[in-house]
């Protein structure tokens, strides 16, 4: 595959239909190594073939123009997998995920909406995160299948 042109982006606006009331929602997501003097790489819910909700960190965004005239919007992501670590206090629906080391390139069409991931500790580069499913009703329904 030969590319005619590739352009890099640091921001994407995702529109999604809420599972709670079927209204349109919108998430503004960033992948920027220097956003207000700090790195910011937001997390997203990914539509893939695995059971349950898949979450990934958005690392980069690209628009590619092919010689055929086709335009592809691609996202470089790093996925999360179920963690073996368990908190001292476990609650119903507690999901703890570890950020993988592997990255993959997917179509932006497979990004569903933003996800809020909370690190379990305050160490720099923490890989283990809680899934925060209480940001709205739609996220609660998605995370608790």
pTM of the model as a whole: 0.88
What domains are there in the chain, each with its CATH number? 5-143 (2.30.30.490)
23-72 per-position pLDDT tens digit: 999 999 999 998 999 889 999 999 988 888 899 999 999 999 998 889 99
Instruction: Return the pLDDT at 3.
Output: 65
Average pLDDT over the chain, rounded to an integer: 90
Instruction: Return the pLDDT at 101.
Output: 80
Instruction: Return the pLDDT at 59.
Output: 96
DSSP string, 111-143: EEEEEEEEESS-STT--EEEEE--S-HHHHHHH
Instruction: Return the pLDDT at 30.
Output: 95
Nearest to 61 by CA among 39, 36, 31: 31
Residue 1: pLDDT over 70: no
Cβ 120 vs Cβ 85: under 8 Å: yes
């Amino acid at each position: 595959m030969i590319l005619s042109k590739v352009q890099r982006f640091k921001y994407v606006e995702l529109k999604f239909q809420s599972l709670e009331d079927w209204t349109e929602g919108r998430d503004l997501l960033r992948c920027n190594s220097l956003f207000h003097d700090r790195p910011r790489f937001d997390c997203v819910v990914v539509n893939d073939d695995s059971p349950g909700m898949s979450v990934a960190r958005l690392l980069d965004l690209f628009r590619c123009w092919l010689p055929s005239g086709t335009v592809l919007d691609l996202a470089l992501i790093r996925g999360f997998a179920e963690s073996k670590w368990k908190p001292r206090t476990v609650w119903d629906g507690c999901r703890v995920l570890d950020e993988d080391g592997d990255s993959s390139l997917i179509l932006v069409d497979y990004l569903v909406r933003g996800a809020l991931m909370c690190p379990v500790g305050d160490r720099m580069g923490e890989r283990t995160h809680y899934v925060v499913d209480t940001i709205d009703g739609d996220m609660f329904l998605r995370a608790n299948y």
